[in-house]
Structure 1
């Protein structure tokens, strides 16, 4: 198939529409969440979102990873047990207040415990399918 400028333009529009839908969905989620009392505000978290194969949307809010910590800090914190390398992730590490829509839900950061430094949630597909309705998403800190 010969690719024409029209095909390229339609492909770009389709990608732009998907990005706009993702941004609109993130906006809706962020306007609907009730943060736990012991948690910080949304702007203190790096926020990752993705859609699972069943159509549900999952999110992970986390304090930014300490990617810029010095080797000395890493050695002190890990006592030489944990290697001081940046993790190899399928996405860039975000700063506080930033957000990203990942292509696959299974690519979301997987962090166990973390108390209120990590908040994970899932929105079922039947709720995601009704974006015109008002959502109320009560979040819990991880490990509670």
Structure 2
């Protein structure tokens, strides 16, 4: 009896509009699409997911007090090098990084997760350069 191994030939392009959608709900949907968990032949050791294009990242919603309570930190390695910014400041400066950070935390850690992270394209506005791939629109409820 032979072992069935799915092919990695069918990767679609999906467009998601982030306007008014809560960040966590959007991130879980995107992470499962990038991993390929929506497919009936999902295999955890293969990258079978879709490419996901997120539009209007600057209009993503954060529920409750997360706009001012959620803090993003980074450390330079030097004394006094801990930099912090709230979600409101991060969305104002670079809204695409907020969505990338949320999705990257939901992907597997390691080489495969870094490759999957390359399947995510986030843009702050409604314009994107991926029209040639003929992406399909995905409705989020």
Verify same fold: TM over 0.5: no
| TM-score, normalising length: structure 2 | 0.23
Calculate the TM-score normalised by the size of structure 1. 0.23
In terms of Rg, which structure is larger? 1
